[in-house]
Structure 1
Amino acid sequence: MRRGVIAGLSVFAGAAALATTLAPAAVADTNTSASGAAAVIEKATGTAGLRSTALDSPVDGAQVTLPARGDEPITATKGDTTVSLTLPATGSKQQSSTDGTDVFAGNEASVNAGAQATTDGGFRALFTLNDANAPRQQSFTLALPAGVTTRQTAEGGLVVFDADGAIIGGLETPWAKDANGNAVPTTYTVDGDTVTQTVTPNADTAFPVVADPKWTWGIISGTVYFNKKETSHLAANAGFVAVVFAAAPPPFDAYGVLNAANISRVAWNAGSDHKCVEVKVPTFLPYEYSGGHCK
């Protein structure tokens, strides 16, 4: 199976990564040991969606392999497609929880890294910033098949398209949580085959902070993508939009119908810009996009 780095990449969360030196948060816990890192991670992610056994058997056609060492990649294969993500970690595995979280030492002080296989055939690559002195950015190496294209979603996730414009999968919207379960602002930037997640705590953030890129096969974050022909139909007739979404399960059918006029307006603008329209579910907010399925 050939693997390649991200091709045709044109996604950036901003013009530059956020600064890594921020004022220390006022509320901070002590550095989390490897023995406690799995519990910290699972408090943030929960355990219901984790695979703890039988990783050698596929789930929904996808095979996931977790690394034995921190510098080895997490890999997932579905059909002829293999993707991998290498943690910002080093050394041998330090801990494996009974629920399915593997823990490694981070590349930098006050950071742990973790890996989880999920019941949807995907995986999480996690890190914990254990105290206010931990660096705010962590970088992962993402390897994708040759010939794919990528783009960022409106919420900051990353969608991967094959050579025909069909969605392979991608990284879900980035998230981070502090020790109290509160959301912490976070973003991705992508440069070549490097995905960097930046976490921005504030004075009220309680450490440790947990964050992760999560790989999922198929549609990412409930985004529906329309090609150029479909976009032109959406732009020409709001009634067509209503028909398209009327087939969705309740209550999404009603939401789609109610937002038909707005979707049609954005589709018209997208056509004028030689772009396509994407619609987020369940908000049914439309956005313009280019590349990938926009053919």
Structure 2
Amino acid sequence: MISPHRPADLQHLLGENFMRRRAIAGFSILAGAAALTITLAPAAAADTNDSASRAATVIERATGTANLRSTAVDSPVSGAQVTLPARGDEPITATKGNTTVSLTLPATGAKQQSSTDDTHVFAGNDASVTAAAQATTDGGFRTLFTLNDANASRQQSFTLALPAGATIRQTAEGGLVVFSADGTITGGLETPWAKDADGNAVPTAYTVDGDTVTQTVTPNADTAFPVVADPKWTWGIISGTVYFNKKETAHLAANAAFVGVLFAAAPPPFDAYGILNAANISRVAWNANSDHKCVEVKVPTFLPYEYSGGYCK
């Protein structure tokens, strides 16, 4: 027969039961938290991967994939080798011969894991901006950014590192031509573009301040986000207009041979156009210099014209 507990024994027994229940409850909370952590960690990683995958899809819909070069291929293309960064705060570099250029993305952190082989996606400095990098089959590269929503900053800046003595000129279409220290064309950034989610063009332009290139995108009320924009480096001729200032115009006026050297590095048939038009370019530069104006040269026809204002200083 079970004898009833005395009050002291009952109090002691109840105390033990309470402590046991509290220990079990504590263990359950810890176990639940651990399980939640284990559950959330892969979910967070999956969310990041899904976000990067969606970003790569949006970008490749805007750029296409026909001229993308897999980063698994190490051999140079068109004599140029491109290295894409592992982190967003590291530069994209391209080397051709003895010339190396690099462009740093407006991004931070490591490459997001679900980026495709051809499009490397990084988190931008702005929470509403995604940055990306692509190598292209012409030996150049793209440095892209995506404005994910209407809160994204309209201006994104890139640091452009060029060889010593190189200078930049802007074309009439808004692209940037890079000249080496000896005056030959190295390459440049093609005319800027931006597209919204419906494939519509969005107004955009470059400004240059020292080694910083800033691309400004100007969406309107009808713009569908996300918007993708693309500074693209190429080693070839940038179509448009090359502008020379007063000092450079005087130099062109005084030395027709220099004009031939200036365009000799251009790919065929543009090199021949430049050389054939050297005397005419020098003549127009001489007239412009006499008129206290400057010379501009249309590419790819290499026809020269006088102009004033703007870069003519």
TM-score normalised by structure 2 residue count: 0.66
Aligned counterparts, 1:125-274, within 5 A: 125-221=143-239, 228=252, 270-271=288-289, 272-273=291-292
Deviation at 1:35, TM superposition (A): 2.2
Deviation at 1:276, TM superposition (A): 2.8
- The answer for unaligned runs of 5 or more in structure 1 is 1-31, 233-246, 254-262, 291-295
Deviation at 1:56, TM superposition (A): 1.6
Q: Which residue of 1 aligns with 2:294?
A: 275
1:42 aligns with 2:60: yes
Q: Which residue of 2 aligns with 1:97?
A: 116
Question: Is the CA contact 1:122–1:215 (under 8 Å) kept in the aligned structure 2?
Answer: yes
- CA deviations on 1:94-146 (whole Å, 9 max, x unpaired) are 13214x11100001111100000001100000000001111111111111111
Q: Which residue of 2 aligns with 1:73?
A: 91
For the residues of structure 2 that align with 1:289 and 1:54, how far apart are their CA atoms?
A: 49
Greater share of helix residues, 1 or 2? 2
For the residues of structure 2 that align with 1:163 and 1:288, how far apart are their CA atoms?
A: 24
For the residues of structure 1 that align with 2:292 and 2:182, how far apart are their CA atoms?
A: 22
Deviation at 1:219, TM superposition (A): 1.1
Q: Secondary structure of the equivalent of 2:222? A: coil
RMSD: 3.3
Q: Secondary structure of the equivalent of 1:96? A: coil
Q: How many residues align?
A: 233
For the residues of structure 2 that align with 1:196 and 1:284, how far apart are their CA atoms?
A: 29
Deviation at 1:84, TM superposition (A): 0.3
Deviation at 1:55, TM superposition (A): 3.7
For the residues of structure 2 that align with 1:168 and 1:289, how far apart are their CA atoms?
A: 26
Deviation at 1:212, TM superposition (A): 1.4
Q: Which amino acid aligns with 1:122?
A: G
Segments of 4+ moved more than 6 angstroms: 224-227, 265-269, 282-285
- The answer for unaligned runs of 5 or more in structure 2 is 1-49, 257-267, 274-280
Q: Which amino acid aligns with 2:181?
A: A
Deviation at 1:267, TM superposition (A): 6.7
Q: Percent identity?
A: 76
Question: Is the CA contact 1:84–1:142 (under 8 Å) kept in the aligned structure 2?
Answer: yes
